[in-house]
Amino acid sequence: MTNKIVILSGLLLLFSIKVIASQENKFHPDTIRMQMPNGTSIEGRSTYDGKHDLADNLEIKKLLGDFLTRWTVLNITELEENKSILIKCSTIKEYDKDDQHTITLEEITTTRRISFPVDTAVALMINGHNKLELNSQIAIYFDRIDQLKELTKYDFSQILKNTDQQIRKENDWYFKSSRFVAWVKINKDNSAEMLHRNTILSPATNQIILSGGTSLENVKGEWNGTFYAKMTFQLGNKNLAKQAFSLGYEWMYDFSSGKENINHWVDLGYQRNFSKNPNKGDWYGLNLGYLVKRNGDLFEKASFRLGIEKKINDNISVVPQIYFNDIFKDAFPGIKVKVHF
Protein backbone atom coordinates (compact mmCIF):
# COMPACT_ATOMS: atom_id res chain seq x y z
CA MET A 1 0.00 0.00 0.00
CA THR A 2 2.92 2.32 0.77
CA ASN A 3 4.30 2.01 -2.79
CA LYS A 4 0.89 2.85 -4.25
CA ILE A 5 0.64 5.98 -2.15
CA VAL A 6 4.15 7.01 -3.21
CA ILE A 7 3.31 6.61 -6.91
CA LEU A 8 0.06 8.55 -6.57
CA SER A 9 1.72 11.27 -4.49
CA GLY A 10 4.48 11.58 -7.09
CA LEU A 11 1.98 12.28 -9.87
CA LEU A 12 0.14 14.88 -7.82
CA LEU A 13 3.42 16.47 -6.72
CA LEU A 14 4.53 16.84 -10.36
CA PHE A 15 1.38 18.81 -11.18
CA SER A 16 1.55 20.87 -7.97
CA ILE A 17 5.17 21.90 -8.55
CA LYS A 18 4.27 23.10 -12.03
CA VAL A 19 1.37 25.13 -10.65
CA ILE A 20 3.51 26.82 -8.01
CA ALA A 21 6.73 27.29 -9.98
CA SER A 22 5.57 27.98 -13.53
CA GLN A 23 8.09 29.73 -15.75
CA GLU A 24 7.67 33.42 -16.48
CA ASN A 25 7.49 34.08 -20.21
CA LYS A 26 8.45 37.52 -21.47
CA PHE A 27 5.18 38.38 -23.16
CA HIS A 28 3.04 41.28 -21.95
CA PRO A 29 -0.15 42.03 -23.90
CA ASP A 30 -0.82 45.61 -22.73
CA THR A 31 1.32 48.67 -23.46
CA ILE A 32 1.29 52.08 -21.76
CA ARG A 33 3.38 54.85 -23.35
CA MET A 34 4.03 57.89 -21.17
CA GLN A 35 5.30 61.14 -22.67
CA MET A 36 7.37 62.73 -19.90
CA PRO A 37 7.86 66.49 -19.28
CA ASN A 38 11.63 66.29 -19.90
CA GLY A 39 11.25 65.03 -23.47
CA THR A 40 11.63 61.30 -22.80
CA SER A 41 9.10 58.54 -23.39
CA ILE A 42 8.56 55.57 -21.10
CA GLU A 43 6.96 52.39 -22.40
CA GLY A 44 5.52 50.03 -19.82
CA ARG A 45 4.42 46.55 -20.86
CA SER A 46 2.35 44.36 -18.56
CA THR A 47 -0.79 42.30 -18.20
CA TYR A 48 -3.07 45.04 -16.93
CA ASP A 49 -6.24 44.05 -15.09
CA GLY A 50 -7.13 47.30 -13.36
CA LYS A 51 -6.70 45.74 -9.91
CA HIS A 52 -2.94 45.85 -9.30
CA ASP A 53 -1.14 49.18 -9.11
CA LEU A 54 1.23 50.06 -11.92
CA ALA A 55 3.79 51.27 -9.37
CA ASP A 56 4.05 47.78 -7.90
CA ASN A 57 4.29 46.13 -11.32
CA LEU A 58 6.79 48.36 -13.10
CA GLU A 59 9.27 49.63 -10.44
CA ILE A 60 10.65 52.23 -12.88
CA LYS A 61 12.58 54.35 -10.38
CA LYS A 62 14.37 51.43 -8.74
CA LEU A 63 15.41 49.78 -12.00
CA LEU A 64 16.57 53.08 -13.49
CA GLY A 65 18.58 53.88 -10.38
CA ASP A 66 20.28 50.48 -10.50
CA PHE A 67 21.16 51.02 -14.16
CA LEU A 68 22.66 54.48 -13.58
CA THR A 69 24.78 53.12 -10.72
CA ARG A 70 26.34 50.57 -13.09
CA TRP A 71 26.53 53.09 -15.94
CA THR A 72 28.64 55.43 -13.80
CA VAL A 73 31.34 52.75 -13.61
CA LEU A 74 31.70 52.85 -17.41
CA ASN A 75 32.67 56.57 -17.38
CA ILE A 76 30.56 57.24 -20.48
CA THR A 77 29.26 60.75 -19.94
CA GLU A 78 27.22 60.98 -23.14
CA LEU A 79 26.24 59.05 -26.27
CA GLU A 80 27.01 60.24 -29.80
CA GLU A 81 24.29 62.59 -31.03
CA ASN A 82 24.33 61.36 -34.63
CA LYS A 83 23.81 57.70 -33.70
CA SER A 84 20.91 55.78 -32.20
CA ILE A 85 21.91 53.35 -29.47
CA LEU A 86 19.98 50.46 -27.94
CA ILE A 87 21.03 49.70 -24.36
CA LYS A 88 19.85 46.36 -22.99
CA CYS A 89 19.99 45.39 -19.34
CA SER A 90 19.84 41.73 -18.39
CA THR A 91 20.69 39.39 -15.57
CA ILE A 92 22.56 36.10 -15.82
CA LYS A 93 21.27 33.51 -13.38
CA GLU A 94 22.99 30.47 -11.97
CA TYR A 95 20.95 27.90 -10.07
CA ASP A 96 17.97 30.30 -10.14
CA LYS A 97 19.99 33.02 -8.39
CA ASP A 98 21.26 36.28 -9.88
CA ASP A 99 24.92 35.77 -10.77
CA GLN A 100 25.77 38.95 -12.69
CA HIS A 101 24.15 41.91 -14.43
CA THR A 102 25.00 42.84 -18.01
CA ILE A 103 24.66 45.98 -20.13
CA THR A 104 24.74 45.61 -23.92
CA LEU A 105 25.15 48.54 -26.33
CA GLU A 106 24.10 48.22 -29.96
CA GLU A 107 23.82 50.77 -32.74
CA ILE A 108 20.37 50.69 -34.33
CA THR A 109 18.45 52.35 -37.13
CA THR A 110 15.47 54.36 -35.95
CA THR A 111 12.45 55.66 -37.82
CA ARG A 112 10.36 58.43 -36.31
CA ARG A 113 6.70 57.57 -36.64
CA ILE A 114 3.84 59.91 -35.78
CA SER A 115 0.29 58.58 -35.54
CA PHE A 116 -2.90 60.62 -35.74
CA PRO A 117 -6.01 58.84 -34.39
CA VAL A 118 -9.11 59.42 -36.51
CA ASP A 119 -11.25 60.26 -33.47
CA THR A 120 -8.78 62.49 -31.58
CA ALA A 121 -6.92 65.64 -32.65
CA VAL A 122 -3.57 64.62 -31.19
CA ALA A 123 -0.17 63.47 -32.44
CA LEU A 124 1.11 60.23 -30.92
CA MET A 125 4.87 59.82 -31.07
CA ILE A 126 7.79 58.41 -29.12
CA ASN A 127 10.37 61.03 -28.14
CA GLY A 128 14.05 60.11 -28.04
CA HIS A 129 16.28 58.38 -30.58
CA ASN A 130 18.10 56.17 -28.03
CA LYS A 131 16.39 53.28 -26.28
CA LEU A 132 17.08 51.83 -22.84
CA GLU A 133 15.50 48.44 -22.11
CA LEU A 134 15.58 47.98 -18.35
CA ASN A 135 13.81 44.61 -18.60
CA SER A 136 11.06 42.96 -20.63
CA GLN A 137 8.49 45.36 -19.16
CA ILE A 138 10.14 48.79 -19.23
CA ALA A 139 11.81 50.73 -22.03
CA ILE A 140 12.85 54.40 -21.93
CA TYR A 141 13.42 56.48 -25.06
CA PHE A 142 15.80 59.40 -24.57
CA ASP A 143 18.33 61.67 -26.30
CA ARG A 144 20.82 62.37 -23.50
CA ILE A 145 22.02 60.53 -20.39
CA ASP A 146 21.22 63.53 -18.20
CA GLN A 147 17.54 63.05 -19.10
CA LEU A 148 17.69 59.63 -17.44
CA LYS A 149 19.19 61.20 -14.32
CA GLU A 150 16.35 63.73 -14.28
CA LEU A 151 13.81 60.90 -14.30
CA THR A 152 15.16 59.55 -11.00
CA LYS A 153 13.91 62.76 -9.34
CA TYR A 154 10.34 62.22 -10.53
CA ASP A 155 7.65 60.97 -8.17
CA PHE A 156 6.75 57.82 -10.11
CA SER A 157 4.53 56.58 -7.32
CA GLN A 158 2.20 59.54 -7.92
CA ILE A 159 2.68 59.52 -11.69
CA LEU A 160 1.69 55.87 -12.02
CA LYS A 161 -1.19 56.33 -9.60
CA ASN A 162 -2.57 59.14 -11.77
CA THR A 163 -2.00 57.06 -14.90
CA ASP A 164 -3.91 54.21 -13.27
CA GLN A 165 -6.86 56.51 -12.65
CA GLN A 166 -6.95 57.60 -16.27
CA ILE A 167 -6.88 54.05 -17.60
CA ARG A 168 -9.45 52.75 -15.12
CA LYS A 169 -12.09 55.08 -16.49
CA GLU A 170 -12.82 52.28 -18.93
CA ASN A 171 -15.09 49.40 -18.02
CA ASP A 172 -13.37 46.59 -16.07
CA TRP A 173 -14.46 44.18 -18.78
CA TYR A 174 -11.83 45.67 -21.09
CA PHE A 175 -9.02 44.91 -18.66
CA LYS A 176 -9.92 41.24 -18.45
CA SER A 177 -10.69 40.52 -22.09
CA SER A 178 -8.87 42.89 -24.43
CA ARG A 179 -5.31 43.96 -25.11
CA PHE A 180 -4.69 47.69 -25.42
CA VAL A 181 -2.14 50.41 -26.14
CA ALA A 182 -2.57 53.62 -24.12
CA TRP A 183 -0.82 56.95 -24.75
CA VAL A 184 -0.56 59.18 -21.67
CA LYS A 185 0.91 62.66 -21.29
CA ILE A 186 2.56 63.34 -17.92
CA ASN A 187 2.52 66.98 -16.84
CA LYS A 188 5.03 68.79 -14.62
CA ASP A 189 2.70 68.53 -11.62
CA ASN A 190 2.68 64.69 -12.02
CA SER A 191 -0.88 64.69 -13.33
CA ALA A 192 -1.69 62.34 -16.20
CA GLU A 193 -3.71 63.09 -19.31
CA MET A 194 -5.03 60.30 -21.50
CA LEU A 195 -4.16 61.11 -25.11
CA HIS A 196 -5.52 57.99 -26.75
CA ARG A 197 -6.34 54.38 -26.03
CA ASN A 198 -6.47 51.74 -28.73
CA THR A 199 -8.15 48.46 -27.87
CA ILE A 200 -6.83 45.47 -29.79
CA LEU A 201 -9.58 43.00 -30.53
CA SER A 202 -8.41 39.50 -29.69
CA PRO A 203 -9.59 36.17 -31.05
CA ALA A 204 -12.07 34.44 -28.78
CA THR A 205 -10.38 32.30 -26.12
CA ASN A 206 -13.57 31.07 -24.44
CA GLN A 207 -14.49 28.16 -26.66
CA ILE A 208 -16.09 24.74 -26.80
CA ILE A 209 -13.71 22.48 -28.73
CA LEU A 210 -14.61 19.08 -30.16
CA SER A 211 -11.57 16.94 -30.91
CA GLY A 212 -10.36 13.39 -31.29
CA GLY A 213 -7.22 11.37 -31.69
CA THR A 214 -5.38 8.14 -31.16
CA SER A 215 -2.77 6.94 -28.70
CA LEU A 216 -0.36 4.16 -27.87
CA GLU A 217 -0.38 3.05 -24.25
CA ASN A 218 1.69 0.63 -22.19
CA VAL A 219 -0.21 -1.10 -19.37
CA LYS A 220 1.24 -4.07 -17.45
CA GLY A 221 3.97 -4.37 -20.06
CA GLU A 222 1.46 -4.63 -22.92
CA TRP A 223 1.08 -2.01 -25.65
CA ASN A 224 -2.49 -1.06 -26.50
CA GLY A 225 -3.90 1.19 -29.18
CA THR A 226 -6.75 3.59 -28.48
CA PHE A 227 -9.10 6.02 -30.17
CA TYR A 228 -10.74 8.83 -28.26
CA ALA A 229 -13.20 11.70 -28.64
CA LYS A 230 -13.18 14.75 -26.38
CA MET A 231 -15.18 17.88 -25.67
CA THR A 232 -13.21 20.73 -24.08
CA PHE A 233 -14.45 23.93 -22.45
CA GLN A 234 -11.58 26.42 -22.83
CA LEU A 235 -11.34 29.69 -20.89
CA GLY A 236 -8.94 32.63 -21.17
CA ASN A 237 -8.46 36.36 -21.66
CA LYS A 238 -6.37 38.90 -23.60
CA ASN A 239 -5.79 36.54 -26.52
CA LEU A 240 -4.44 33.87 -24.17
CA ALA A 241 -6.12 30.58 -23.30
CA LYS A 242 -5.44 29.88 -19.61
CA GLN A 243 -7.39 26.80 -18.52
CA ALA A 244 -9.71 24.12 -19.82
CA PHE A 245 -12.12 21.47 -18.57
CA SER A 246 -12.66 18.35 -20.65
CA LEU A 247 -14.89 15.28 -20.95
CA GLY A 248 -13.58 12.41 -23.05
CA TYR A 249 -14.48 8.89 -24.15
CA GLU A 250 -11.81 6.34 -25.06
CA TRP A 251 -11.87 2.95 -26.79
CA MET A 252 -8.80 0.94 -25.69
CA TYR A 253 -7.94 -2.09 -27.85
CA ASP A 254 -6.38 -4.93 -25.84
CA PHE A 255 -4.79 -7.87 -27.70
CA SER A 256 -2.88 -9.34 -24.72
CA SER A 257 -5.12 -12.43 -24.56
CA GLY A 258 -4.92 -13.13 -28.28
CA LYS A 259 -8.40 -11.69 -28.76
CA GLU A 260 -9.59 -8.23 -29.65
CA ASN A 261 -10.98 -6.84 -26.41
CA ILE A 262 -12.16 -3.24 -26.27
CA ASN A 263 -12.25 -1.46 -22.91
CA HIS A 264 -14.28 1.74 -22.69
CA TRP A 265 -13.11 4.65 -20.53
CA VAL A 266 -14.69 7.97 -19.56
CA ASP A 267 -12.24 10.73 -18.60
CA LEU A 268 -12.65 14.02 -16.78
CA GLY A 269 -9.78 16.46 -17.14
CA TYR A 270 -8.46 19.84 -16.09
CA GLN A 271 -5.74 21.55 -18.14
CA ARG A 272 -3.81 24.72 -17.39
CA ASN A 273 -1.59 26.84 -19.62
CA PHE A 274 1.42 28.15 -17.69
CA SER A 275 2.67 30.26 -20.60
CA LYS A 276 2.05 33.98 -20.96
CA ASN A 277 2.77 33.89 -24.67
CA PRO A 278 -0.26 33.19 -26.90
CA ASN A 279 2.08 31.93 -29.62
CA LYS A 280 3.69 29.28 -27.42
CA GLY A 281 1.60 27.30 -24.96
CA ASP A 282 2.82 25.36 -21.93
CA TRP A 283 -0.09 23.06 -21.09
CA TYR A 284 -0.26 20.56 -18.23
CA GLY A 285 -3.32 18.55 -17.32
CA LEU A 286 -4.74 16.34 -14.58
CA ASN A 287 -7.01 13.52 -15.82
CA LEU A 288 -9.25 11.10 -13.94
CA GLY A 289 -10.73 8.13 -15.82
CA TYR A 290 -13.26 5.40 -15.03
CA LEU A 291 -13.71 2.05 -16.81
CA VAL A 292 -17.37 2.07 -17.88
CA LYS A 293 -17.25 -1.12 -19.98
CA ARG A 294 -14.77 -3.95 -19.40
CA ASN A 295 -13.72 -6.65 -21.84
CA GLY A 296 -10.97 -9.20 -21.23
CA ASP A 297 -8.81 -9.60 -18.13
CA LEU A 298 -6.48 -6.62 -18.43
CA PHE A 299 -8.51 -4.61 -15.90
CA GLU A 300 -10.74 -5.39 -12.96
CA LYS A 301 -14.26 -4.08 -12.65
CA ALA A 302 -14.58 -0.60 -11.15
CA SER A 303 -11.10 0.40 -12.34
CA PHE A 304 -9.88 3.99 -12.21
CA ARG A 305 -6.86 5.83 -13.57
CA LEU A 306 -5.18 9.11 -12.71
CA GLY A 307 -2.73 10.81 -15.06
CA ILE A 308 -0.63 13.94 -15.55
CA GLU A 309 -0.70 15.12 -19.17
CA LYS A 310 2.05 17.23 -20.74
CA LYS A 311 1.31 18.70 -24.16
CA ILE A 312 4.55 18.55 -26.18
CA ASN A 313 3.13 20.44 -29.16
CA ASP A 314 -0.21 20.93 -30.91
CA ASN A 315 -0.34 17.27 -31.94
CA ILE A 316 1.43 15.17 -29.29
CA SER A 317 0.99 14.70 -25.53
CA VAL A 318 2.65 12.37 -23.02
CA VAL A 319 0.61 11.03 -20.09
CA PRO A 320 2.16 9.04 -17.20
CA GLN A 321 -0.70 7.31 -15.37
CA ILE A 322 -1.52 5.16 -12.38
CA TYR A 323 -4.32 2.55 -12.52
CA PHE A 324 -6.15 1.24 -9.47
CA ASN A 325 -9.29 -0.58 -8.38
CA ASP A 326 -11.87 0.77 -5.97
CA ILE A 327 -10.12 3.18 -3.56
CA PHE A 328 -6.47 2.93 -4.70
CA LYS A 329 -6.31 -0.87 -4.54
CA ASP A 330 -3.91 -2.89 -6.72
CA ALA A 331 -2.23 0.20 -8.15
CA PHE A 332 0.10 -0.12 -11.15
CA PRO A 333 1.66 2.45 -13.52
CA GLY A 334 1.09 3.11 -17.21
CA ILE A 335 2.37 5.48 -19.88
CA LYS A 336 0.49 6.90 -22.85
CA VAL A 337 1.56 8.84 -25.96
CA LYS A 338 -1.37 10.71 -27.54
CA VAL A 339 -1.69 12.04 -31.07
CA HIS A 340 -4.34 14.76 -31.47
CA PHE A 341 -6.31 15.24 -34.67
Q: 300 and 171 in one domain?
A: no
Q: What is the mean pLDDT of the chain?
A: 83
Relative orientation angle of helices 156-167 and 60-74, to the nearest 10 degrees = 140
Same-domain pairing of 146 and 262: no
Residues 132 and 182 in one domain: yes
189 and 208 housed in the same domain? no
Per-residue pLDDT tens for 21-63? 444 445 567 889 999 999 999 999 887 766 666 766 678 989 9
pLDDT band per the 50, 70, 90 thresholds, residue 10: low
pLDDT tens by residue, 237-294:
666 788 999 999 999 998 877 788 999 999 999 999 988 776 678 899 999 999 999 9
What per-residue confidence (pLDDT) applies to 164?
Answer: 86
Dist. CA 76–CA 74, nearest whole Å: 5
Position 24 in a domain: no
On whether both 62 and 186 belong to a single domain, the answer is yes
Q: Distance (Å, rounded) from C-alpha 285 to C-alpha 321? A: 12
pLDDT at position 187: 95
pLDDT for residue 220: 87
pLDDT value at position 117? 84
Q: In angstroms, rounded to a whole number, what is the distance separating the alpha carbons of residues 104 and 81?
A: 18
Q: How many CB atoms lie within 10 A of CB 43?
A: 17
- Domain hosting 65: range is 30-200
Cβ pair 87, 105 in contact under 8 A? yes
Lowest mean pLDDT among 96-110, 212-226, 311-325: 96-110
pLDDT tens, residue by residue, 207-242:
889 999 999 999 988 889 999 999 999 987 666 788
Q: How far apart are the first and last CA of the chain?
A: 38
Partners of 254 in beta bridges:
261
218 and 195 in a common domain: no
Which stretch of DSSP H or E encloses residue 12?
helix 2-20
Q: Which of 148, 183, 200 is the last residue of a domain?
A: 200
* Residue 60 covered by a domain: yes
Would the pTM count as exceeding 0.75?
no
Q: Which residues, other chains included, contact 209 with Cβ-Cβ below 8 Å and sequence gap of 6+?
A: 231, 232, 234, 244
CA 183 from centroid of its chain's CA atoms: 24
**What are the CA-CA distances from residue 235 to residues 74, 160, 241, 272 (Å)?**
49, 31, 6, 10
Tell me, what CATH number does 279's domain have?
Answer: 2.40.160
324 shares a domain with 269: yes
> Which pLDDT band holds residue 75 (cuts at 50, 70, 90)?
confident
Average pLDDT in the 85-110 region? Answer: 85
